Structure 1
């Protein structure tokens, strides 16, 4: 007798797979039941695709959305001599747009523009598949009809921060924004956009703002003030801009904001306000500072954030003296700490003041410091380490297998020097010892390649490849090789996503 997984079980499985879009997409083909469950997850945020052949995917998304357009919208396009080929001659299996919980005006604009882009060799020539180059005003019609259709659904996230393109949005169609919980925008959008949004949307929990100037419109301030329970705030400064004029507006949320992310673009010298305003957010659970300088971090070193669990410095970092004092006051409850800071004294302070860490990124200069951290941080599950400058991969592997706590299950090794080579005998010795550990945890081993990584000891060495495959088949490890830039994006995916920056 055949058994069928109930929807709740399938949902849980597919939710786990949602970051692996290729695997989740293959679930569509199993049977109608699997298709019905997985398609809802895939289309929830259809704009977050990351594939090499993005033109084909974009064209497929647009043609599918076109097939879902109501008759009135299709007639508008036909009257303007705009034709988009549907994916098949049959009616869509689902009303795909109804599954969308994210509206990315950036991506819709990009997809439509690319779809009707004329060939480079002959602008007047007709495009393949009956596509024809359109003037921007007619492309705008396509954009607006798709936005109109999707915005009638109950949406959770709105992305509209494209500085170059400003679609003509009719807010009469935005019935789905009442329950919006996330907004990504920029300060260059028309004030009328913020005013009309403030009349509809009062339940935002997360706001991300990209600043292009020092001025912040009163309408944007009003939109922020109108929110009932703002919890997450991301501020990004570009082009010599600043968020200083917005700070008085944010005082209303000094007790509700739990996530604060501050960034400035490294292409410009941004004139940012002092960090002392961060003190007012006493309930912060997550802090990310991606800034070019920390000239006033001294103001925060003695501030206590009793609920702080995540602390990240993806780029530059404050002086060690101030950081050590900050960890002394706030390290006890930290679960995740990310810093590229060097220095023996600083790294030792992590083992002293952050005993409850689960995830860590460090650059230790001595293997003894790594041992001390592993021995003192007994809840550690994941660590990312730079090798080649001070530590070799062999040293790191030996130390991890001998000193890591029982729950440890993920090792990320960053390669930064060409001469740091792992030999097959050392790799097999490590894997044999890991297999013999009492904890029996499957180890996720991730090798991260930098731009300066020349030797492919995990890619081109046949012996190493054979050893890895052997222990993968035994269920000892899960092995991956990733680019450093991809890892950076994963570490900060909630604020550097392609959606946020309009890519």
Structure 2
């Protein structure tokens, strides 16, 4: 006799498979109940089929499958409208669908809908008087209207304006938006969009805004001011954009915001940084200022003396402030830090980490050739360190000396080593195996995650054929876990989902 688990138990199990799409796909084939539970999870955020931004954005077959399913979900009046305009998009089946897939969505991305429609219809022959742009808008608009009718509880809404049609949202007839917790938008959307949203949605926990100019609609300021428990804030300044005019609206949230991400590639950047001191309860700060943005981080001079007692994560993904400013900041805030990411190779700054960040668990900092003693000092002083990422190759430390330092000096809880390979370097199979043997014989045994990060133009001898045999041997013995990543993939992870 076959025993069937209750639906709520299966749902609890399948929730843990959210990041394992292949396993969820296999669950679709078991029976109707398993299929329904899996489909609900898979369609919760159907827009997350992403590739690297340097590769093709999304396989056309995936975009076609998503759009054809959505077209099949459209109400009859929408299908008739497309038919009258001679827009023919095939559906997966002529029979009624098993599920109303649109109703399962918890994330609505206007931009993803536009991209999918554009990629599918781009090469379709035009057999009506509509331009390609108008045809795409008509299809996307009907799909969006369907989502607003069918989604009963929306968690996340993404809508950026890139010289496309504006969609006439009517939030009055979109009850699911009342539960919205995350908004990602650009500041140049129609003011009516922000006004309508501000009348209904007061419980946003995360706001992400792209600024393309200095103008900020009053309706957007009002929307921000009306939120009751805003936790995460992301501000991006592009082209001639600046967030300076939104700062007064943020004052109300000075005690609630715990995560702040600031990003700018504006070469005439005039976006202030000193307003960060408004948020005394920050737990995470990420700065991503392009080296071409023109900023000199001089405004950080005001931040260096301020204390954030709860700050645990600090990242500078691109340009950094002057070392003396950052060192003073670490002196005031380093004791609480758990994760530090600095794209700077300054000896004094690296030494200050050992002095001011005793509780750090995860670290990335660049060491120049000949600075292996600084890495040793960090290991000795930071006894809670669990993970470190270092650059190896020309001008930097060698793979061999990094491995020797890790096995000799890393603290007991250390278990993850990420090596970014900037140039080919040499390490023999004998030296690599000796490292694994010594790691295996450490008193406090931990499985070591060894992750190699490399770009498309570099091939490290650490992962040559001979060394890969050694790596596989000690993987099978349970001494290490080995991983290989591209540079862009690693950088995407460091952004930590903000995008």
Q: Normalization by structure 1: what TM-score? A: 0.89
| 1:400 corresponds to | 406
**Residues 17 and 406 of structure 1: CA distance in aligned 2, closer, same or farther (over 3 Å):** farther
Mean CA deviation greater in 195-204 or 396-405: 396-405
| 1:351 corresponds to | 354
Residue-by-residue CA offset, 1:45-100 (whole Å, 9 max, x unaligned): 11111246621111111111122223333333333332221223443333222221
| 2:132 corresponds to | 135
Given that 1:416 and 1:452 are in contact with CA atoms closer than 8 Å, whether structure 2 keeps it comes out as no
| 2:181 corresponds to | 181
**Residues 105 and 294 of structure 1: CA distance in aligned 2, closer, same or farther (over 3 Å):** same
Inter-partner Cα distance in structure 1 for 2:206 and 2:345: 33
Q: Which runs of 5+ in 1 are unaligned?
A: 127-131, 498-503
Given that 1:212 and 1:238 are in contact with CA atoms closer than 8 Å, whether structure 2 keeps it comes out as yes
The CA deviation at 1:382 is 1.5
| 2:341 corresponds to | 338
Inter-partner Cα distance in structure 2 for 1:147 and 1:54: 22
| 2:283 corresponds to | 285
- Tell me the secondary structure at the aligned position of residue 314 of structure 2: strand
The CA deviation at 1:33 is 4.9
**Residues 475 and 8 of structure 1: CA distance in aligned 2, closer, same or farther (over 3 Å):** farther
Q: Which runs of 5+ in 2 are unaligned?
A: 290-294
The CA deviation at 1:432 is 2.3
Please list, as runs of the form range in 1=range in 2, the aligned pairs for 1:178-257 lying within 5 A after superposition: 178-257=178-257
Inter-partner Cα distance in structure 2 for 1:249 and 1:426: 58
Residue-by-residue CA offset, 1:238-295 (whole Å, 9 max, x unaligned): 11221111111111111111111111116x322222x221111111111111124311
Inter-partner Cα distance in structure 2 for 1:374 and 1:66: 57
**Residues 76 and 224 of structure 1: CA distance in aligned 2, closer, same or farther (over 3 Å):** same
Given that 2:399 and 2:426 are in contact with CA atoms closer than 8 Å, whether structure 1 keeps it comes out as yes
| 2:487 corresponds to | 484
Aligned CA RMSD, in angstroms, stands at: 2.5
- Tell me the secondary structure at the aligned position of residue 293 of structure 1: coil
More relative contact order, 1 or 2 (CA 8 Å, 6+ apart): 1
**Residues 379 and 27 of structure 1: CA distance in aligned 2, closer, same or farther (over 3 Å):** farther
Q: Is residue 79 of structure 1 aligned with residue 88 of structure 2? A: no
Inter-partner Cα distance in structure 2 for 1:337 and 1:29: 44
**Residues 204 and 474 of structure 1: CA distance in aligned 2, closer, same or farther (over 3 Å):** same
| 1:378 corresponds to | 383
The CA deviation at 1:335 is 1.1
Q: Is residue 387 of structure 1 aligned with residue 392 of structure 2? A: yes
Residue-by-residue CA offset, 1:374-396 (whole Å, 9 max, x unaligned): 22222222211111123111111
| 2:416 corresponds to | 410
Residue-by-residue CA offset, 1:213-257 (whole Å, 9 max, x unaligned): 111111111111111111111111111221111111111111111
| 1:129 corresponds to | none
**Residues 353 and 177 of structure 1: CA distance in aligned 2, closer, same or farther (over 3 Å):** same
Q: 1:144 aligns with which of 137, 141, 146?
A: 141
Mean CA deviation greater in 135-144 or 360-369: 135-144
**Residues 321 and 226 of structure 1: CA distance in aligned 2, closer, same or farther (over 3 Å):** same
Q: Is residue 434 of structure 1 aligned with residue 442 of structure 2? A: no
Inter-partner Cα distance in structure 2 for 1:20 and 1:169: 36
Q: 1:103 aligns with which of 96, 100, 108?
A: 108
Given that 2:330 and 2:356 are in contact with CA atoms closer than 8 Å, whether structure 1 keeps it comes out as yes
The CA deviation at 1:32 is 4.7
Inter-partner Cα distance in structure 1 for 2:10 and 2:239: 46
- Tell me the secondary structure at the aligned position of residue 209 of structure 2: strand
Inter-partner Cα distance in structure 2 for 1:164 and 1:429: 59
Given that 1:163 and 1:186 are in contact with CA atoms closer than 8 Å, whether structure 2 keeps it comes out as no
Given that 1:143 and 1:167 are in contact with CA atoms closer than 8 Å, whether structure 2 keeps it comes out as no
Inter-partner Cα distance in structure 2 for 1:470 and 1:79: 64
| 1:322 corresponds to | 325
Residue-by-residue CA offset, 1:13-36 (whole Å, 9 max, x unaligned): 655553454454344345555444
Inter-partner Cα distance in structure 2 for 1:148 and 1:19: 29
Mean CA deviation greater in 74-83 or 176-185: 74-83
The CA deviation at 1:304 is 0.5
- Tell me the secondary structure at the aligned position of residue 328 of structure 1: helix
The CA deviation at 1:452 is 5.2
The CA deviation at 1:296 is 2.0
Mean CA deviation greater in 225-234 or 1-10: 1-10
| 2:263 corresponds to | 263
Inter-partner Cα distance in structure 2 for 1:66 and 1:166: 20
The CA deviation at 1:11 is 5.4
- Tell me the secondary structure at the aligned position of residue 331 of structure 1: helix
| 1:18 corresponds to | 18
**Residues 237 and 68 of structure 1: CA distance in aligned 2, closer, same or farther (over 3 Å):** same
Inter-partner Cα distance in structure 2 for 1:439 and 1:63: 55
Residue-by-residue CA offset, 1:97-126 (whole Å, 9 max, x unaligned): 22211100000011111111126xxx5699
Given that 1:198 and 1:222 are in contact with CA atoms closer than 8 Å, whether structure 2 keeps it comes out as yes
- Tell me the secondary structure at the aligned position of residue 44 of structure 1: coil
Inter-partner Cα distance in structure 1 for 2:352 and 2:5: 49
Inter-partner Cα distance in structure 2 for 1:392 and 1:16: 40
Given that 2:107 and 2:157 are in contact with CA atoms closer than 8 Å, whether structure 1 keeps it comes out as yes
**Residues 464 and 23 of structure 1: CA distance in aligned 2, closer, same or farther (over 3 Å):** farther
